[in-house]
Amino acid sequence: MANRPTAPHLQIWKWGPHMLVSILHRVTGDGLALVGLAVLLWWLGAMAGGPASYATFAEVMTSPIGYVVLVGLSWAFFSHLTSGLRHFVLDIGAGYELDINKTWSIAAPIIGIALTVAFWAIILLK
């Protein structure tokens, strides 16, 4: 048998914030695609279904569970956006220095949370 190098796996790599943000980017993208699409299709169907259908949709989305879904979707959007911008900067060849990469890996989810709080503060305080 040839003496080939082994592929890196989780026992070899040391966990860091950059790995967490990369995984979070994938999870938030999937959540936006699945849950966001379901809410969007329900909203469009409710609008096409008439006032009674839309009233049911509005009642569910303004319930506590509806707000949890909407806040979760907006958090997923802003978190995915900030980590996507981080990935974009990495794709152009910048930000690979260890300190800078770690700083932006920690900042991306925090900025996503801050943007979500600001977004909902604007909506609820108007």
Q: Are 80 and 25 in contact (CB under 8 A)?
A: yes
- Is 87 annotated to bind a ligand? Reply is no
Give the phi and the psi of residue 56 in degrees, each rounded to 5: -65, -45
Residues 6+ apart with CB under 8 A from 29: 80
Residue whose tokens read 């979070």: 24
Residue positions counted in the chain: 126
Q: At what angle do helices 17-31 and 64-91 cross, to 10 degrees?
A: 130
Numbered residues of the known binding site: 80
Residues making up the binding site for heme: 80
